Structure 1
């Protein structure tokens, strides 16, 4: 595997081309996405230039494509005038280090990226509404350079915020590191869930973080994030995990992937269609309701139903974001007041959650290959985005920017398969 060996071994004399290819968004709608040839970004004194090894498509990309410059994270940036490279889930290798960072970073180091950057803009302030004043959060693949590209400029905002997370275990493949961010969002979400517990009737209450141990957890949604939530829910050791969705094929896929592990941990895994949900909950919980509900879909009806399904003193987590125009839902306040349920939510993760994710991958506690349904080279990125938008994909899609290969279906993606793919389809820069 000479081609792959040369790719993996990055040294200080790494040769950069003058141009690269990238997926660029220049307006509202899928028709304004292009695979374009652009100049290689410069590397400033306080910046890094990185090779993008793998990037994943996310449902959040759809919101950016549909909203364009009106997207909240663009803050008025005119993408028709200043097009953006999109993509915010990925893994990178440093190929150039700015002179002021050479005591902190080295060529050849690998990193995962936290794309939500808690910072205001340092560059191009004139492109932001109100000259960027009041902005406290930027994002990779929005106004900061994105990862559907052969190379990416890592700017001061990302570095100073600690959002570049080093991969210490080289056994972690490129695709797994690219999935560290979405998986970390699941870890962060489940850490938002909490329960008041005590050891005796008159004992002092304490708070335990996470899904209720020995309880019943419900994951609403059979997409990639529902799948991830179901697997990570097992780390909290509930007695029952119910996964519901509208797609029989996806439900079967989740059940097949997780049933052995669930059995080994004495967890009762129940994967069903949404229409069976109410009856199943009543049967499993004797009509009491579930202890935890994670709503991993952006459907307002599902968010409202979750309130009905939760047991007294249970927790509902709104994980999937509802489109802006449908964001107002009805909630029975008696469930909150009299049943004392808690409603929480999250929309991302903390860098520490990515560190935890990488550690869990290294220990074999997470199998990210379970989630990969399609792969391809950079030329397959637009077809992947289209498949995601049309819900024609049963899991996550991985793009290898330095390969050229049409989009194809995969099952059980792993380091060996990734290596064979790269050996065959890598192209010279």
Structure 2
């Protein structure tokens, strides 16, 4: 089987190449990739090359396939796994394998598996660790988003609270409690709002979402309305803190001065961290979700409250396999829709430039269709492109139909009508 893939040879040395995949062994699986979502971790991998902790030192001689947020269909199943997996089934993959203590992961460490490709050989480690996850949803791009969504799911599960007189930690957000998501209307923040409102197992009673831009807040409210939240048992408040003389007081006023049981900080800004600490209720938990670029990033915390009010701090940067399963399940049931994460689409040949320049490209997730060939395109640009391009015009209509979001309907149209395809 021949595949075409984006292979990494060294620092920002990404090449679109065609090559033969080896015949699968009895403990391997051959799969077709349909979508892969570009992650900032891909940019870091390209930027660091062989010095990256997950990338082999001999990558210049044995290049790896980039991409770890992918979804596709099983093409051939090795003998060992034929009782568990079937040809034609859709799948997603948990890339953080932790196989025998190694950091090896699809999209970083292997020659024959990575999301930026047309076909891959799934190695035995993935199945042995139960990291090949069935996906029964109707859109491949949602399967690709399962990994970033799992980071949000994991955040909610990682929150913890204590009980006086006991040393046991109660894991998860406080059911029916006060929750705040600060700087909460970026792609990951929107996903957190979606999960907080629509997760059937545990919800806050009140959710306050902040930002400093009215347009972004209005967009969030259009996607996740106060009325919808109320129907799901959550009082939802959107708050612009930019013009507030005292953001902490404004936030506390939303809780009648009680403070917040759970606070997520979605941007690596010192002022936000300190704001979050100041609004914690007794036994409240602060989750520093945003990953800073600076290794010396610091902020002040009130340790009087740590001692006497039992406030806590935790940081999460990913989800585990159970979090991915939960994400896939909720998407399959239509309970959550992380499409708000996607702001761009593109074909396989657009991957290298998008990965290398990712910090300079605004918006959220870049969803790449690996069997198609077209440039990276912002969803917001489709209408203008549609003036001279029939396919873009139809995609613009479909995006508009779904409140500016990418959708299963738009994906289906793209897969059927894109004329430029990667030859197989």
Provide TM-score, normalisation by structure 1. 0.81
Deviation digits for residues 171-204 of structure 1 (CA, Å, limit 9, x no counterpart): 4311111111111221121011133579xxxx99
Does 2:4 align with 1:21? Answer: yes
Name 2:229's counterpart in structure 1: 262
Q: 5+ unaligned residues in a row in structure 2: which ranges? A: 380-403
1:3-402 matches, cutoff 5 A = 16=1, 18=2, 20-29=3-12, 32-74=13-55, 77-120=57-100, 135-144=101-110, 145-167=113-135, 169=136, 171-196=137-162, 209-221=171-183, 222-234=185-197, 235=199, 236-245=202-211, 248-259=214-225, 260-265=227-232, 266-272=234-240, 276=244, 277-299=247-269, 302-323=272-293, 325-327=295-297, 329-385=299-355, 388-393=358-363, 395-402=364-371
Distance 1:415 1:44 in 2: 34
Higher mean displacement: 369-378 or 207-216:
207-216
Name the Cα RMSD after superposition.
Answer: 2.9
The question of whether the paired residues in 1 share the 8 Å contact of 2:92 and 2:143 is answered with: yes
Distance 1:61 1:302 in 2: 27
Name 1:11's counterpart in structure 2: none
Deviation digits for residues 362-419 of structure 1 (CA, Å, limit 9, x no counterpart): 22210132332221221232354356422511x3221110112222233222222111
| 1:237/1:352 CA distance change after superposition, 3 Å | closer
Q: 5+ unaligned residues in a row in structure 1: which ranges? A: 1-15, 121-134
Distance 2:140 2:211 in 1: 30
| 1:248/1:348 CA distance change after superposition, 3 Å | same
Name 2:400's counterpart in structure 1: none
Aligned residue for 1:72, secondary structure, equals coil
The question of whether the paired residues in 2 share the 8 Å contact of 1:41 and 1:49 is answered with: no
Deviation digits for residues 28-64 of structure 1 (CA, Å, limit 9, x no counterpart): 34xx333333433542332112111111112222322
Aligned residue for 2:109, secondary structure, equals coil
Aligned residue for 2:54, secondary structure, equals helix
| 1:213/1:89 CA distance change after superposition, 3 Å | same
Name 2:398's counterpart in structure 1: none
Name 1:127's counterpart in structure 2: none
Distance 2:213 2:355 in 1: 20
How far off its partner does 1:78 sit?
Answer: 4.1
Deviation digits for residues 225-259 of structure 1 (CA, Å, limit 9, x no counterpart): 11111211223432332223455543332222111
| 1:40/1:247 CA distance change after superposition, 3 Å | farther
| 1:248/1:60 CA distance change after superposition, 3 Å | farther
Provide TM-score, normalisation by structure 2. 0.82
Deviation digits for residues 333-389 of structure 1 (CA, Å, limit 9, x no counterpart): 323212211212322222222222222112221013233222122123235435642
Name 1:9's counterpart in structure 2: none
Distance 1:261 1:293 in 2: 22
The question of whether the paired residues in 2 share the 8 Å contact of 1:88 and 1:146 is answered with: yes
| Number of matched pairs | 388
Does 2:394 align with 1:414? Answer: no
Distance 1:80 1:246 in 2: 45
Distance 1:64 1:247 in 2: 32
